[in-house]
Amino acid sequence: MPVLTPCPGNHNNAWRHAEAERESTGIDHELQPAWGDPIHCTRCALRARSELADVPELLAAVWLESLHGTRPRSTGTIGRAPVATWPGEACRLLTDHIVGAMLTLEDDIRDLRRLQRRRPTAEGAAITSAVRFLSAHLDWALTDHPAAAEVHDRLSANPAAQIHSWHTAATRFTRRDTGVERYAAPCPRCDLLGLFRADGDDYIECRNVACGLLLTPAEYAAHTTALAASYAA
Ligand SMILES: [Zn+2]
Ligand SMILES: [Zn+2]
């Protein structure tokens, strides 16, 4: 009989915590993990497949956001807009991040499986062919990729965790997740209009993937007060 391994998905975090606790303190628990089949559970594997299939459409929506997003004021009584960024910049950063990570994963799998190198193409064609390639190799990626058993988190190289992070970032960016509050002031660290808070979250998070700043509501309030004072001055 094959040895069962717990799925590396974050739905098993509570079980992993309880196991670590049991090892250090001896306190028993009654939690059961979801087992991998053989590495990821069926639910995580299905989710990775459907999230990957959504990527081209989500990237198109991110691109549309850059065309129709709110433009900063470039003229007016005071003259210059306080935010020295162009409206498409956050879209561009997010697109570069996702496309770059997809192509890196594709190259990585091609190397590991000794397949022919990818030919460089324009971005749109590269997105389409990367999604097609990754879908075709997804079962292998979720089972045999060197990072396939890595516990999912934001920085994990696990292909399923990566796909989930692209999907989440693009969904949040295009405001398709419900119960999300978008904040009007630019991020105090990166100056982009990327501050959001998801329903039930304690923190306000900058969703510029290159920044990721977390603010408490009190810190956000202090930031807006400081901003208002600087505009008045
Ligand atoms: Zn799972
Ligand atoms: Zn930021």
The amino acid sitting at 102 is M
C-alpha 230 to ligand 2 mean position (Å): 19
Q: What is the pTM of this model?
A: 0.71
Residues 196 and 222 in one domain: yes
pLDDT tens track for 63-100 = 888 777 644 434 444 444 344 356 678 888 899 999 99
* SS3 assignment, position 35: strand
C-alpha 172 to ligand 1 mean position (Å): 22
Structural domain tally of the chain? 2
Cβ < 5 A residues, ion ligand 2: 187, 189-190, 206, 208, 211, 213
C-alpha 220 to ligand 2 mean position (Å): 12
Q: What is the CA radius of gyration of the chain?
A: 21
Residues 164 and 188 in one domain: no
Give bridge partners of residue 181 from the DSSP assignment. Answer: 197
pLDDT tens track for 108-152 = 999 999 999 999 999 999 999 999 999 999 999 999 999 999 998
Residues 50 and 157 in one domain: yes
Residues 155 and 188 in one domain: no
The amino acid sitting at 58 is L
C-alpha 10 to ligand 1 mean position (Å): 7
| Domain around 187 | 179-233
Instruction: Give a yes or no: residue 98 inside a domain.
Output: yes
Residues 169 and 194 in one domain: no
C-alpha 47 to ligand 1 mean position (Å): 9
Residues 168 and 228 in one domain: no
Residues 107 and 159 in one domain: yes
Instruction: Give a yes or no: residue 35 inside a domain.
Output: no
Residues 162 and 172 in one domain: yes
